[in-house]
Copies of this chain bind each other. A is one copy, B any other.
Amino acid sequence: MSRPSELTRHSLIEEAINVFAAKGFAGGSVRAITKKAKANQAAINYHFGSKEGLYREVLKVSIEAFSEKTLLHAGTVENLPREEAVRLFVRQQLQPLLSNSRVSRYVRIFAWETLSPSRVFQDYVASEQVPMLVLAEKIVRRYAPADASREEIMVKAIWLANQSGAFVRNFASLSRPPVSLSVDQGFVERLIDTIAALAIAALSAPSPRERSQRGEG
């Protein structure tokens, strides 16, 4: 593959990350992507086979980069106090909100997928492990008793993975009525503290099953 073709390929992926982060897979058009990437409309089909093929590449890049370049890795989660792991987990999703960093775009892409998963994403999570859910599961297990059911673990993992989602998705509308909050760096920091504290308190409490086992139900 020659130099100029790789440049086209690369800038297509780059702009696709921007467009899909802003509008989701269904809402992002190939025309918008090729226009921003200064490429021809046919380029996506030529290089990636289809819009779905391009998105598959975007997801691969995003998921790999997200799990490598972020605060919390699957390896480090075991070596932290469990409260600190929760805080970092929340932080790595909310902190990028105010920035235009690469990571913030990955987080937004994942937020779109948690709302209405694309076929590409569904295929991906069915075959390969999704770092965010794996992380959430690891953290939840550190709070759960040894005899917790898989159902309870998975439910809590899904719950934890989605604790920040509402704010990521609706970040723009937080500053508009009827919420009308002033959204700045300080707000995001307080938001991280609040959500992390809520999650920690929730996970620390005994589950309904544990309470009923102790005759407290």
> Which A residues are closer than 8 A to B by beta carbons?
24, 26-27, 112, 114-117, 122, 125-126, 129-130, 133, 150-152, 154-156, 158-159, 161-163, 165-167, 169-170, 173-174, 176-179, 181, 187, 190-191, 193-195, 197-205, 207-209, 211
Complex contacts, A211 vs chain B, CB 8 Å = 197
Known: A24-B116, A177-B126, A179-B154. A205 touches B197 (CB 8 A): yes
B residues near A126, Cβ cutoff 8 Å: 176-178
Which of B115, B117, B129 makes the CB contact (< 8 A) with A173?
A: B117
Tell me what chain A mostly uses at the interface: helix, strand, loop, or mixed.
helix
Distance in angstroms between the alpha carbons of A22 and B178 in the assembled complex: 27
Most buried by B among A125, A165, A179, A198: A198
| B129 x A198 contact (CB < 8 A) | no
Q: List 7 A-B contacts (CB under 8 A).
A: A27-B116, A114-B115, A115-B169, A159-B167, A162-B162, A165-B165, A197-B207
Which residues of chain B are within 8 angstroms of A169 by Cβ–Cβ distance?
Answer: 114-116
Give chain B nearest CB distance to A66 CB in angstroms: 17
Q: Contacts A125-B178, A208-B193 hold; do A198 and B156 have CB atoms under 8 A apart?
A: yes
Q: For residue A115, give the distance in angstroms from its CB to the closest CB of chain B.
A: 3
Q: Which 7 A-B pairs have the closest CB atoms?
A: A115-B115, A201-B205, A162-B166, A198-B202, A202-B202, A193-B208, A201-B202
